[in-house]
């Protein structure tokens, strides 16, 4: 009797190929925190965003800068495969300029473990699958001409790279007052 391992049965979509691909420029230009109990019906709908912001299901930081780094999480493979990629650990380092005005916010939310992280690059937005760890820092350098900024580190792990979606209209153009 022979044994056959058919693989994981994953359906592989056809890759896209273009001589003139659309480039997406980087930088964490905006980010948002989203309650992990909240789910968008259409993450590209600006009206739905306004409702989520008004209900405090989403906190938007429209003018930021930052980076995203990921490290593969591997386990031991079998046969000729030395390792298997199980997922990724992500770290987003974002800078937010509202230092003194947001001390209470960052001091309170750092202990929460029920917010997902979303971020914007040039024309796309992305959202973590699960809640993130939030580590706010506000280092003070010795240069008397450099502003104190929030340097927030967000950490999360998930199996796949987040799906890019189109930016929802003008949601990230300016600060939105919550009534």
The per-residue pLDDT for range 89-146, each reduced to its tens digit, is: 999 999 999 999 999 999 999 999 999 999 999 999 999 999 999 999 999 999 999 9
What CA–CA distance (Å, rounded) separates 123 from 91?
21
pLDDT band at 179 (very low <50, low <70, confident <90, very high): very low
Q: Which residues sit opposite 116 in a β-bridge?
A: 34
In this prediction, residue 103 carries a pLDDT of: 95
Distance separating the N- and C-terminal Cα atoms of the chain: 71
**Helix, strand or coil, per DSSP, at residue 159:** coil
Q: Tens digits of per-residue pLDDT, 40-56?
A: 999 999 999 999 999 99
pLDDT band at 176 (very low <50, low <70, confident <90, very high): low
Q: Which of 172, 129, 154, 166 is nearest to 30 (CA)?
A: 172
Q: Give residue for tokens 């950490």.
A: 155
Model-level pTM?
Answer: 0.89
Could you tell me which residues come within 8 angstroms of residue 120 by beta carbon, excluding any fewer than 6 positions away? 28, 29, 30, 31, 126, 167, 172
**Helix, strand or coil, per DSSP, at residue 120:** strand
Could you tell me what percent of the chain has a pLDDT over 70?
A: 93
Which 8-state DSSP code applies to residue 122? S
In this prediction, residue 31 carries a pLDDT of: 98
> Quick one: which H or E segment has residue 48?
helix 46-54
Of residues 174 and 121, the one with the higher pLDDT is: 121
pLDDT band at 5 (very low <50, low <70, confident <90, very high): low
Of residues 125 and 81, the one with the higher pLDDT is: 125
């Amino acid at each position: 009797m022979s044994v056959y391992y058919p693989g994981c049965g994953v359906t592989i979509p056809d890759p896209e190929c273009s001589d003139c691909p659309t480039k997406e420029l980087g930088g964490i230009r905006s980010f948002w925190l989203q309650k992990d109990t909240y789910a968008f019906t259409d993450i590209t709908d600006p009206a739905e965003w306004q409702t989520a912001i008004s209900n405090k299901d989403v906190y938007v930081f429209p003018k930021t800068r930052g980076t995203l780094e990921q490290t593969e999480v591997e386990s031991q493979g079998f046969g000729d495969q030395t390792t298997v990629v199980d997922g990724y650990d992500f770290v987003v380092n974002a800078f937010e300029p509202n230092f003194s005005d947001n001390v209470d916010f960052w001091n309170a939310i750092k202990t929460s473990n029920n917010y997902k992280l979303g971020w914007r690059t040039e024309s796309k937005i992305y959202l973590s699958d699960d809640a993130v760890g939030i580590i706010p820092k506000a280092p003070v350098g010795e240069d008397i001409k450099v502003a104190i900024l929030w340097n927030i580190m967000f950490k999360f792990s998930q199996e796949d790279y987040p799906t890019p979606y189109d930016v929802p209209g003008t949601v990230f153009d300016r600060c939105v007052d919550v009534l």
